[in-house]
Amino acid sequence: MMSSQISPRLSKSRFVAGLQCVKRLYLECYQRDLADPIDPSQQAVFDSGNAVGELARQRFPGGRLIEEQYFEHSQAVESTRKILTDASVPALFEAAFTFERIRTRVDVLRRSGQEAFDLVEVKSGAKVKAEHIPDVAIQLHVLEGMGIIVRRAYLMHINTDYVYQGGPYELEQLFSLQDVTDDAQAFMSEVMPSRLVKMWEVLHGEEEPAIETGPHCMTPYQCPFYGYCHQEATEHPVEELPRVSSKVLDELKDSGIGDIRGIPLDFPGLTPTQQRVRDSVAAEQPFISSDLASRLREVRFPVSFLDFETFNPALPAYVGTRPYQVIPFQWSLHVRDSSGQLSHESFLNEDSEDPRRAFVTSLLDTVPPHGTIVVYSGYEQAIMQQLAVTLPEFAERLLALCGRTFD
DSSP symbol at 259: B
Average pLDDT value for residue range 155-173: 98
Helix (H, G, I), strand (E, B) or coil at 303: strand
Distance CA 39, CA 99 (A): 34
For residue 5, pLDDT beyond 70: no
Supply the pLDDT for residue 340.
Answer: 94
CA distances from 44 to 49, 51, 141, 218, 227 (A): 9, 10, 31, 19, 20
Distance CA 308, CA 310 (A): 7
Confidence of residue 235 (pLDDT cuts 50, 70, 90): confident
Confidence of residue 6 (pLDDT cuts 50, 70, 90): low
pLDDT digits (tens, 9 = 90+) for 317-347: 999 999 999 999 999 999 999 999 999 999 9
Could you tell me the residue ranges of all domains in the chain? 3-201, 242-287, 293-406
Taken in order 248, 250, 252, 257, the sign of the CA dihedral is positive
CATH hierarchy code of domain 3-201:
3.90.320
For residue 102, pLDDT beyond 80: yes
Average of per-residue pLDDT values in the chain: 95
pLDDT digits (tens, 9 = 90+) for 115-143: 999 999 999 999 999 999 999 999 999 99
Supply the pLDDT for residue 190.
Answer: 97
pLDDT digits (tens, 9 = 90+) for 242-252: 999 888 988 99
Confidence of residue 3 (pLDDT cuts 50, 70, 90): very low
Helix (H, G, I), strand (E, B) or coil at 91: strand
How would you label 69-108 residue by residue, b for 16+ Cβ within 10 Å and e otherwise? eeeebeebbebbeebbeeeeeebbbbbbbbbeebbbbbbb
Supply the pLDDT for residue 34.
Answer: 97
pLDDT digits (tens, 9 = 90+) for 55-90: 999 999 999 999 999 999 999 999 999 999 999 999
For residue 1, pLDDT beyond 50: no
Cβ proximity of 305 and 374 under 8 Å: yes
Distance CA 151, CA 155 (A): 14
Distance CA 85, CA 100 (A): 22
Supply the pLDDT for residue 381.
Answer: 97
- What is the full DSSP assignment across 170-221? -HHHHEEEEE-HHHHHHHHHHTHHHHHHHHHHHHT-SS------SGGGGSSS
Distance CA 119, CA 122 (A): 10
